[in-house]
Amino acid sequence: MYEYNNNGMNESQNAQYQGSFSTDPQPPKKPKTHKTAKVIALVAAVAVLCGGAGFGGAFLANQTSNLLIGGAPSASESGDSEAESSTSSPSVNSDESSDLHEVLDALQSDVTTHSSTGEIEYNSDGSYAYTRDLVAEVKDSIVYIEVYVSIRGQETLYGAGSGIIISTDGYIITNAHVAENDYYAVTKLTVSINTTDPTDGSSIATKYDAELIGSDTDTDLAVLKIDAEDLHAAKLGDSDTLCLGDDVVAIGNPMGLETSVSKGVVSGLNRQVYDDNTVSAIQTDTAINRGNSGGGLFNMHGEVVGVVNMKLINDNAENLSFAITINDAKSVINDLITKGYVSGRPILGITCLQVSEYIGAIQNMTPGLLVTDIEKDMAIADSELIVGDTIVAINGTPVLTVEEVSEVIKDMKPGDTVTATVVRTDSRGRDKQIDIDIVLSEYSGS
């Protein structure tokens, strides 16, 4: 259950990423070199595209269709069915049919006919009066993303999600969990774009290979680039203008159903779903499913106000969906495009082994962060810290994990100085504790 209380999340919570994962057993996760945030209670939306699911879905759909239309009888049954039909089915003559139509015509006599001018209608504030007009205007800015990975040496379609075109020359934003995954290295990303013919309304899909420009797991945002021109780009709006109860429209590709539309309202603002509060989220009651991740949340002016990235799955909760505010996303997107990483984040600049209290006890080691490497091109290289030291505290706060270090320095800036309390073992095996000043460097995403 997703419950806010004085102690944070309730242990009965049952939330998970709705990732598009293959049925192969998962290998251990790839180690991450930097982590300043932990996503909580997030269920990201990526469609499963394995063959079994696809064929199973097709089979179920066909069976359902047969049930709805009655199905075609087998050869052995057709004769009896026809005989029963001819003897048992009531007949309606032409006079009775005419009487029925007269009754319906009388009942409908006072019902007005709805007429449409075909013109786009707007409200007094300039917003779209009808959702259909908004969707017709923005739907071609939403793309379908397929993710390929290498499994046992073979390139395999691993999952899919959604993305938003933000420039006519091919820049696309999506979620980091769509563009990357924790188990296999992504070998290829493809983007399918629908283009609507203005003359007859037909849609043409074009597939492109995409380049990953940059990805940031802390904010769950990524930028892709395709080699294309004259694309239909979405306009980025101002999420700060949203109010509770505002109508919003989500467009994406849930379960591989391209350009699916769901509508709802803003249920909550400034929701903090990350431990470090680096980004805030918009809570909505729009229907979000696997494959919606990376898609657009639009206001009724047809502007992107959020990037859909999660929903809560819980037996006691419904319609709890979230999107990253576009105002928080803008600076991240700008940094990913210009630098390939998010600027302004501090980092110590070490590689270390996390020694828990338990491991320390059985291995006769000091619990803390055992330094195994020091980045030579970072400011920490000029400090007195050496390989083999064990960092036990930062600015007086005990630390045993990388996450705890990140929590201590999250509000600092590159160039700030911290004091690391270090346990160092001399040549005679004696431990001594010293304090070392370390200047923080900027995390560059590598």
Question: Could you state, in chain order, the average pLDDT of each consecutive group of 10 residues for the chain (446 residues)?
Answer: 36 41 49 42 42 32 38 41 46 64 78 72 92 93 94 90 94 94 89 79 85 91 94 93 94 90 92 68 90 94 93 74 92 93 91 93 93 94 94 95 90 94 88 94 82
411-422 per-residue burial string, b: 16 or more CB within 10 A, e: under 16:
eeebeeebebbb
Cα separation, 255 vs 248, whole angstroms: 21
Catalytic residue positions, numbered: 177, 220, 293
- Residue 16: predicted pLDDT: 38
Cα separation, 153 vs 299, whole angstroms: 44
- Residue 26: predicted pLDDT: 54
Using the structure block, give the residue that is written with the tokens 């309390």.
421
The DSSP line for 407-432 is HHHTT--TT-EEEEEEEEE-TTS-EE
- Residue 276: predicted pLDDT: 54
Q: What is the pLDDT of residues 95-135, one digit of tens each?
A: 666 777 788 788 877 776 766 667 889 999 999 999 999 99
- Residue 185: predicted pLDDT: 87
Backbone angles phi and psi of 316, in degrees to 5: -110, 15
Cα separation, 208 vs 236, whole angstroms: 23
Looking at 2.40.50.320, 2.40.10.120, 2.40.50.140, 3.30.450.40, the CATH number of the domain 132-338 comes to: 2.40.10.120
**Structural domain boundaries of the chain?**
132-338, 346-442
Report which residue type is found at 46. Answer: V
- Cβ-based neighbour number of residue 9 at 10 Å: 14
Q: Are strands 296-298 and 303-311 parallel, antiparallel or unpaired?
A: antiparallel
- Residue 28: predicted pLDDT: 54
The alpha-helical segments, DSSP class H, found in 226-265 are none
- Residue 109: predicted pLDDT: 78
Backbone angles phi and psi of 117, in degrees to 5: -80, -15
Q: How many CA atoms lie within 13 A of 386 on its CB side?
A: 7
Looking at 2.30.42.10, 3.40.50.300, 3.40.50.170, 3.40.50.11540, the CATH number of the domain 346-442 comes to: 2.30.42.10
- Residue 218: predicted pLDDT: 86
Cα separation, 408 vs 392, whole angstroms: 13
